[in-house]
């Protein structure tokens, strides 16, 4: 784009030019720049000049994408609109993950259901290759009717899952009582739409209805206020973590009292499974973070 001299502009026009310039810079977020379509043989698409991404699933294959960048801490936002209609058997997974047998992972998974029945939002946290920290929720809206924002805040003290700005789950750093916490392995963002009718809907009792295919999930408005990991170093200064206090202070952010009340409201009214109350699953005793006062 040709440069334009601002030396001859009036103060008002100069201010307008600067405002418009900053607006353009702020809105150049482009899914082509942020993500690679990794599998699905054309079933994953980036559309509308990079403003929309869609994943599709049919009987032959699902599809997926991953971020070009790796991150070590950040606040990640994405708007999703899930598979409408009879989505039983399908899973739309959206998560952060590192690689290897001792990988870390922070999961949103959306388990499809029969028309009119609610999606199940499945969350999990893996650290050092160990997961089994599932919490599941119904949503308080139809996630197929419009786009909604699903966010992961990940800093050295905690992981917070949020939906449209409402926190639904917090996993605190409990290393002091021997619980590993994801903090050393950079993670990419991944998403996939795939068939899991052997388990996803009512334990596999409801199978995918392929007459409804192709199934499609949509993504837009990705935003990452995050530390980008490249060449074994972070874009955030290791000597001055406070330098990441910009962008809303996510690096040291915690839930204030209002946010804690909102999270309690969600957990009271919409949580349908919590590993921390599943005594049958843990006959030797619940995981230590479940009984510690340092975690939710």
Check residue 1 and give its pLDDT.
40
Check residue 293 and give its pLDDT.
55
Mean pLDDT, residues 7-13: 41
Domain containing 233 equals: 31-290
Beta strands in 155-198 (DSSP E): 158-163, 166-172, 188-195
Check residue 13 and give its pLDDT.
39
CB neighbour list of residue 234: distance below 8 Å, 6 or more residues apart: 72, 227, 228
Domain assignment of residue 223, yes or no: yes
| pLDDT over 50 at 26, yes or no | no
Check residue 9 and give its pLDDT.
38
Instruction: From the candidates 70, 109, 170, 289, give the one annotated as an active-site residue.
Output: 109
8 A C-beta contact, residue 143 and residue 240: no
Domain assignment of residue 4, yes or no: no
Instruction: For residue 253, give the nearest of 186, 165, 192, 129 by alpha carbon.
Output: 165
Check residue 19 and give its pLDDT.
39
pLDDT grade for 66, boundaries at 50, 70 and 90: very high
| pLDDT over 60 at 20, yes or no | no
Domain assignment of residue 114, yes or no: yes
Separation CA 15–CA 24 (nearest Å): 14
Domain assignment of residue 25, yes or no: no
| pLDDT over 60 at 15, yes or no | no
pLDDT grade for 206, boundaries at 50, 70 and 90: confident
Q: Rounded to whole angstroms, what are the CA distances from 139 to 119, 264, 271?
A: 7, 14, 9
Check residue 39 and give its pLDDT.
98
Whether residue 105 lies in the annotated active site: yes
Domain assignment of residue 106, yes or no: yes
Give the residue with greater pLDDT, 2 vs 258: 258
Count how many domains the chain has: 1
pLDDT, tens digit, 9 for 90 and up, residues 228-285? 998 888 888 654 444 444 455 999 999 999 999 999 999 999 999 999 999 999 999 9
Domain assignment of residue 169, yes or no: yes
Domain assignment of residue 219, yes or no: yes
CATH, residue 62: 2.60.120.200
Instruction: From the candidates 105, 170, 261, 289, give the one annotated as an active-site residue.
Output: 105
Q: What single-letter DSSP state applies at residue 84?
A: P
Q: What is Dmax (Cα atoms) for the chain?
A: 77
Check residue 201 and give its pLDDT.
86
Whether residue 289 lies in the annotated active site: no
8 A C-beta contact, residue 58 and residue 40: no
Domain assignment of residue 6, yes or no: no
């Amino acid at each position: 784009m040709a440069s334009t001299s601002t030396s001859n502009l009036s103060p008002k026009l100069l201010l307008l030019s600067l405002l418009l310039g900053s607006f353009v810079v702020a809105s150049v977020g482009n899914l082509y720049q942020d993500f690679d379509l990794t599998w699905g043989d054309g079933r994953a698409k980036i559309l509308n000049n990079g403003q929309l991404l869609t994943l599709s699933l049919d009987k032959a294959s699902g599809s997926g994408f991953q971020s070009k960048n790796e991150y070590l801490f950040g606040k990640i936002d994405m708007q999703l609109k899930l598979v409408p209609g009879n989505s039983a058997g399908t899973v739309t997974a959206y998560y952060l993950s590192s690689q290897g047998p001792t990988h870390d992972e922070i999961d949103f998974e959306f388990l499809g259901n029969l028309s009119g029945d609610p999606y199940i939002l499945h969350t999990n946290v893996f650290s050092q290759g160990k997961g089994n920290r599932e919490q599941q929720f119904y949503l308080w809206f139809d996630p197929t009717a419009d786009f909604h924002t699903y966010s992961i805040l990940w800093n050295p003290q905690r992981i917070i899952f949020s939906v449209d700005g409402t926190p639904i789950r917090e996993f605190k750093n409990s290393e002091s009582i021997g619980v590993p916490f994801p903090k050393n392995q950079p993670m990419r963002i991944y998403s996939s739409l795939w068939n899991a009718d052997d388990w996803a809907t009512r334990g596999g009792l409801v199978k995918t209805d392929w007459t409804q295919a192709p199934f499609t999930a949509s993504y837009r408005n990705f935003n990452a206020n995050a530390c980008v990991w490249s060449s074994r170093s972070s874009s955030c200064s290791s000597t001055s973590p406070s330098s990441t206090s910009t962008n809303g202070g996510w690096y040291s952010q915690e839930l204030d009292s209002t946010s804690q009340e909102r999270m309690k409201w969600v957990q009271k009214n919409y949580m349908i499974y919590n590993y921390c109350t599943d005594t049958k699953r843990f006959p030797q005793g619940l995981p230590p973070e479940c009984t510690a006062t340092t975690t939710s």
